[in-house]
C-alpha cells in the first residue's frame, strides 16, 4: 500500500488539502517513510486565522456546513472497551475516512473565500503553509535527552520533597503572600519542586520513543491566538527559564550524536523592537539605533540621570515597565514586582509615558481600533477578533483591552521567528547541511550541529534571522553553543 501511495504523496505537482496536515504528514513519514509534498491548503489553519473558536473538523462541519459527522468513539468505543482504528472493519473505517475527506474538501472553498475576503490569504499561503513541513521535520527530528541525569535529579528532588506536606491553598493566593512568612515561601518552593519533578524530571524519560531513542514533541501553529507556535506532549516551552532547577532540566537536553553540539539562536528583545517600530516612539527608536541596553536607556530617561549613573535597581524597575506596558501593567502590578508602593507605581507610569509619548499613543490607538473594528492586526495582518472590547462587563472589557495592546506586538514577534524558521530550513536544505532544527521556544531556536558545520550555521543564522522582516530598528540575534541546552555560551 505504501509503495502505491508514494508517487502520489511525494509528487509536489499533485496539490494536497488536509485538516491538521501536520499530524497526517508526521505519521505518514514516521510510520511509512512517506514524505508528503505539495500541501496547498489546511482547513484547520485557515479556520484559526479566521478566528474560529472551535477548529476541529467535526465542529467546523457542523458550524459552516450544517453537517453532523460520526464521532470516532462510535467506531472504536470508549473506556476500557476502547479499541484502535486498525481493528475497525474496513467498510466502517473507509466510510469514516471518506467523510473526513469530503468535509475537508467542502470546507476548503468556504474558508478560502473567507481568507481572501478578510485579506488573510497572503499570510496563509506565504507564511503559515510553508511552516507546516518545517514543523513536521522538527517533530520527526526530535531531541535527545540525558536520561541518567534526569533519574539522578528525580532522586534528589524526592529527598528535598520529604516529608510530603499536603498543602492545598491555591497558588495565586500564596503568590500574593510571598515573603509575608517563611512558611509561605516553603510551600511555594514545595509546589514548584513537585510540579517540575512530575511534569519533566519523571515524565520526560518515559516519553522517549523506543524506536528512535529521542523525545518527539508536537508543535501546534493553530493553538494560540497571537500566532505563537505551542508545543505539547511534552510542552518543552514551559520549562522554567530563570530558576536553577529549570536550568538543570535544560542540561538534560543534549546532542544525539557523539561530538555534535547544540546551537541556540535567540532574538534579543524582539517584542520591544516591534513596539518601537509600531509606536514610532522617538526615545525607543533612538535607544535601539544606538544599540544601547534598552532597560538602562529607559531608566536613564525616566529617572533623568546619565546612562553611566543608572543603578541596577533603576534598571530592574525600568525593565518591569518596559515589558509591563505590553500587558497593561497597573500601579498595583508594579508594586507586586518592585519595592514601589501603588502610588509610586502610578507616578512612575505617568513619568514613563511622558518620556515615551509614542508608546501611550500606540496603546490608546490599539484600544480604539479594537473598539471600532472589533479586531487588531499584526504587521503581517494576522487578526485577533475581540468582541469583548465593547462589553458592559468591566473585567471582560479590561482583559480585551490588554489583549488589544499585546497581540499586535507578540503576534508580530511570532511571525518573525516563524518566517526565520522557514527560510533557515530552506537554506539548510539547499546547502545540504546535516544540522537539524530541533526546538522552538518563543524567540529562540535550538539546532543540533556537527562540529564541521558550526561556523556555517552561525553565519547562516546571523544572515537569515535579522533579515526575516524589515523594522524601523535592527533585529539583533545572539548565538550560543554548548554541550547541552543548559550549558550554552
Q: Which DSSP string do the residues of 105-116 spell out, in sequence order?
A: HHHHHHHHHHHH
What are the distances in angstroms from CA 226 to CA 180, 221, 230, 385, 463? 36, 10, 11, 11, 26
- Work out the pLDDT band at 1, boundaries 50, 70, 90: low
Q: Assign 215 to helix, strand or coil.
A: strand
431-452: pLDDT as tens digits: 999 999 999 998 999 999 999 9
Instruction: Sketch out the chain's domains with CATH numbers.
Output: 2-118 (3.30.420.10), 271-408 (1.10.150.20)
CB-based contact 221:406 (threshold 8 Å): no
Which contacts of 172-175 are long-range, i.e. CB under 8 A and separated by 24 or more positions? none
Compute φ and ψ for 417, nearest 5 degrees.
-75, -30
Of 118, 120, 108, 121, which Cα lies nearest the Cα of 61?
108
278-322: pLDDT as tens digits: 999 999 999 999 998 999 999 998 889 999 999 999 999 889 888
Tell which wins on pLDDT, 97 or 326: 97
Give the model's pLDDT for residue 170.
57
Tell me the CA end-to-end span of the chain in Å, nearest whole number: 48
CB-based contact 428:460 (threshold 8 Å): yes
Q: CA-to-CA distance for 462 and 267, rounded, in angstroms?
A: 10
User: Is residue 259 classed exposed, middle or buried when 0-12, 13-18 and 19+ CB atoms within 10 A define those classes?
Assistant: exposed
Grid coordinates standing for 262? 547544540
HSE toward the beta carbon, residue 47, CA cutoff 13 A:
22
212-259: pLDDT as tens digits: 999 999 999 998 889 999 999 999 998 888 788 889 999 999 999 999
Q: CA-to-CA distance for 380 and 413, rounded, in angstroms?
A: 10
DSSP summary character for residue 414: H
Q: What is the model's pTM?
A: 0.91
Q: CA-to-CA distance for 39 and 225, rounded, in angstroms?
A: 23
- Work out the pLDDT band at 171, boundaries 50, 70, 90: low
Contacts (Cβ under 8 Å, ≥6 apart) of 351: 302
Amino acid at each position: 500500500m505504501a509503495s502505491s501511495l508514494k508517487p502520489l504523496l511525494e509528487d509536489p505537482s499533485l496539490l494536497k488539502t488536509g485538516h491538521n496536515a501536520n499530524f497526517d504528514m508526521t505519521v505518514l513519514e514516521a510510520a511509512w517513510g512517506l514524505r508528503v509534498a505539495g500541501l496547498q491548503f489546511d482547513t484547520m489553519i485557515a479556520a484559526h486565522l479566521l478566528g474560529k473558536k472551535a477548529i476541529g473538523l467535526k465542529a467546523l462541519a457542523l458550524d459552516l456546513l450544517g453537517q453532523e459527522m460520526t464521532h470516532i468513539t462510535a467506531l472504536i468505543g470508549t473506556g476500557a472497551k476502547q479499541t484502535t482504528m486498525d481493528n475497525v472493519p474496513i467498510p466502517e473505517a473507509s466510510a469514516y475516512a471518506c467523510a473526513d475527506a469530503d468535509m475537508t474538501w467542502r470546507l476548503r472553498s468556504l474558508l478560502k473565500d473567507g481568507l481572501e475576503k478578510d485579506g488573510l490569504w497572503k499570510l496563509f499561503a506565504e507564511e503559515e503553509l510553508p511552516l507546516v513541513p518545517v514543523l513536521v521535520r522538527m517533530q520527526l527530528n526530535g531531541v535527545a535527552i540525558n536520561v541518567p541525569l534526569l533519574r539522578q535529579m528525580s532522586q534528589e528532588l524526592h529527598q528535598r520533597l520529604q516529608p510530603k506536606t499536603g498543602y492545598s491553598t491555591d497558588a495565586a493566593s500564596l503568590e500574593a503572600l510571598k515573603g509575608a512568612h517563611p512558611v509561605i515561601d516553603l510551600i511555594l518552593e514545595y509546589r514548584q519542586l513537585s510540579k517540575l519533578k512530575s511534569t519533566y524530571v519523571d515524565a520526560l524519560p518515559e516519553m522517549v520513543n523506543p524506536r528512535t531513542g529521542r523525545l518527539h514533541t508536537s508543535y501546534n501553529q493553530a493553538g494560540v491566538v497571537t500566532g505563537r507556535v505551542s508545543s505539547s506532549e511534552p510542552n518543552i516551552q514551559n520549562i522554567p527559564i530563570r530558576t536553577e532547577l529549570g536550568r538543570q532540566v535544560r542540561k538534560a537536553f543534549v546532542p544525539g550524536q557523539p561530538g555534535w553540539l547544540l546551537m541556540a539562536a535567540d532574538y534579543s528583545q524582539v517584542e520591544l523592537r516591534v513596539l518601537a517600530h509600531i509606536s514610532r516612539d522617538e526615545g525607543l527608536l533612538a535607544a535601539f539605533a544606538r544599540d544601547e541596553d534598552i532597560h538602562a536607556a529607559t531608566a536613564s530617561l525616566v529617572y533623568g540621570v546619565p546612562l553611566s549613573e543608572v543603578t541596577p535597581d533603576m534598571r530592574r524597575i525600568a525593565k518591569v515597565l518596559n515589558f509591563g506596558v505590553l500587558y497593561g501593567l497597573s500601579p498595583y502590578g508594579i508594586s507586586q514586582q518592585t519595592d514601589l508602593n501603588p502610588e509610586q507605581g502610578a507616578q512612575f507610569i505617568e513619568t514613563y509615558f511622558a518620556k515615551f509619548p509614542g508608546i501611550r499613543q500606540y496603546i490608546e490607538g490599539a484600544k480604539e481600533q479594537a473598539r471600532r473594528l472589533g479586531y487588531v492586526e499584526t504587521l503581517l495582518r494576522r487578526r485577533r477578533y475581540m468582541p469583548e472590547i465593547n462589553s458592559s462587563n468591566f473585567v471582560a472589557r479590561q482583559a480585551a483591552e490588554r489583549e488589544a495592546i499585546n497581540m499586535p506586538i507578540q503576534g508580530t514577534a511570532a511571525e518573525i521567528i516563524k518566517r526565520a524558521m522557514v527560510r533557515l530550513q530552506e537554506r539548510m536544505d539547499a546547502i545540504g547541511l546535516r544540522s537539524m532544527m530541533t526546538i522552538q521556544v518563543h524567540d529562540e531556536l535550538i539546532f543540533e550541529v556537527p562540529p564541521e558545520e558550526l561556523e556555517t550555521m552561525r553565519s547562516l543564522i546571523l544572515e537569515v534571522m535579522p533579515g526575516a522582516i524589515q523594522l524601523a530598528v535592527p533585529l539583533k540575534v545572539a548565538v550560543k553553543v554548548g554541550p547541552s541546552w543548559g550549558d550554552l555560551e
